Structure 1
Amino acid sequence: MKKLTILLFLISSTVFGQDIISTSAGAVKISPILHGTVVFEFNGKTIYVDPYGGASAFEGQKKPDLVLITDIHGDHHSQETLDGLDLSMATIVAPKAVSEKLPIGKSKGIITINNDETKMIEGVSVHALPMYNLPETEDSRHPKGRGNGYVLTMGDKKFYLSGDTEDIPEMRALTDIDVAFVCMNLPYTMDVDQAADAVAEFKPTIVYPYHYRGTEGLSDVDKFKSLVNSVAPGVDVRLRNWYPSN
């Protein structure tokens, strides 16, 4: 029976690529889903970030208690995916540009949070910070102030989710980040070199490259790992399969 239990755990971990992060208030389980989508489980709560890929991408996952959305684009605010999920117990947290588009009555509630605001929601501290393209222009794909990156504090650990951003000063100025999820896909966000340079500056304990599919295919995350560790060897760069169909 013990061997069977271990085997089942390994199979489950392989399916979702789960990692476990210890905190002062219990473990955080991390499950990469697709592109910029990740699921956290913490202290009896399940958190979906930017649910995308259709409801079938979440088969086997628990129903969400908290849903975080970073921006208006379809790979972040995917209404089709949201419509296919059971959100009856979920609070959706989003910037104003997203929350004003969300239908009323589909979830337990909607909370608008904008850049530089912090709110305690479902036992998780949610801090919104800017995410935007450089240089700042009127026709930018991601203008400053519209979307949110997030820093989630769970127990004594801080988790940073970049959203769609370039290597902005606000990201480089981050401190004491335990786990970071950093995007890298041209022409929408930044390239591998920019992402690696930024990460080497703010030095999270662990970093996951995510959201790395662009118009030219998948970014070279092995190069990202090499670049980061050549400058900041203490950063644990974790490569996971965010594109299971590739």
Structure 2
Amino acid sequence: MVKRILSAILGLLLVAVPLWANDGGCMDTIETSAGDLQISFIGHGTLMFAFDGKIIHVDPWSKLADYAKLPKADLILITHEHQDHLDLAAVELLTKPGTQMVASRPAAVHLPGSLVMQNGESKTVQGLAIEAVPAYNLVHMRSEGVPFHPKGNGNGYVVTFGGTRVLVAGDTENTPELKGLQGVDVAFLPMNLPYTMTPEMVADAALALQPKILYPYHFGETDTARILDLLAGSGIDVRIRAMQ
């Protein structure tokens, strides 16, 4: 286990380089058939992608970065309506003429002019193919019979960058819809309790999806070494980044 932990740390040092020094972010670059995809790990459930001259922000949250210093968005993806995923102040700072927003229906209520995507829908936005994947709880409940994330409220998104399919799963558990996705190359799966998945649930979803690269994200205080143990020998490149 120690060897795997050291390997993950070494991978972080070699692959992730400072991007937004004032905000503690780092960046990975993934080659696609249409050029490099740059992934910025801002933290929690918040990401930024740069691809083909476009900037895509996912669930921007002012608590994590000074968005006045980050590139404006061509596209903003909002997974659901919770305040750590839908921050109107961050959205306003990132918006420029021509910015498009994609959101789940409950989130779109707060985002005039946004494009609503319901679970299971596919659209092309800013030249990118986007699929909305159901994101919800099966097990973890706010109270008896009341899940933290009810089915139908939230989306994950599969975005295709030059033939490379990237899943940002949103706040979800290892649902049948998630595990049934095909051809995912890069997967961001949440791993924090009590709101989303245990490491065991993440491993179950990852083994079904078989992505080339797995980024556990939105993991709070979860011991990330556990997912390295669970997926040892799976052939999945598990990359731990600063995504608390």
TM-score scaled to structure 2, two decimals? 0.85
Aligned equivalent of 1:5: none
Match of 1:224 among 196, 206, 227: 227
Match of 1:37 among 21, 42, 46: 46
Q: How far, CA to CA, are the matches of 1:92 and 1:12 in structure 2?
A: 24
Q: How far, CA to CA, are the matches of 1:149 and 1:219 in structure 2?
A: 21
1:26 aligns with 2:35: yes
Unaligned runs of 5+ in 2: 1-15
User: SS of the counterpart of 1:68?
Assistant: strand
C-alpha RMSD over aligned residues: 2.2
Match of 1:116 among 120, 133, 136: 120
Aligned equivalent of 1:6: none
Q: How far, CA to CA, are the matches of 1:112 and 1:93 in structure 2?
A: 6
- In the TM superposition, what is the alpha-carbon distance from 1:13 to its structure 2 partner? 8.0
Letter paired with 2:40: S
Bigger RCO (CA 8 Å, 6+ sep): 2
Aligned equivalent of 2:131: 127
Q: How far, CA to CA, are the matches of 1:93 and 1:12 in structure 2?
A: 25
Structural mapping, 1:1-246, within 5 Å: 11-12=18-19, 16-54=25-63, 56-58=65-67, 60-102=69-111, 104=112, 109-135=113-139, 139-213=146-220, 218-230=221-233, 232=234, 234-243=235-244
Letter paired with 2:184: I
User: SS of the counterpart of 1:242?
Assistant: coil
Conserved in 2, the CA contact under 8 Å of 1:34 and 1:53? no
Q: How far, CA to CA, are the matches of 1:85 and 1:61 in structure 2?
A: 8
Letter paired with 1:238: R
Conserved in 2, the CA contact under 8 Å of 1:54 and 1:81? no
Conserved in 1, the CA contact under 8 Å of 2:17 and 2:27? no
Letter paired with 1:188: Y
Segment drifting more, 202-211 vs 12-21: 12-21
User: SS of the counterpart of 2:73?
Assistant: coil
The structure with more strand, counted as a fraction of residues: 2
Q: Deviations over 1:100-146 (max 9, x none)?
A: 122x3xxxx41111111111000111100101101498522211111
Q: Deviations over 1:19-62 (max 9, x none)?
A: 11111111110000010000000111000000013484446532
- In the TM superposition, what is the alpha-carbon distance from 1:11 to its structure 2 partner? 5.0
Unaligned runs of 5+ in 1: 1-8
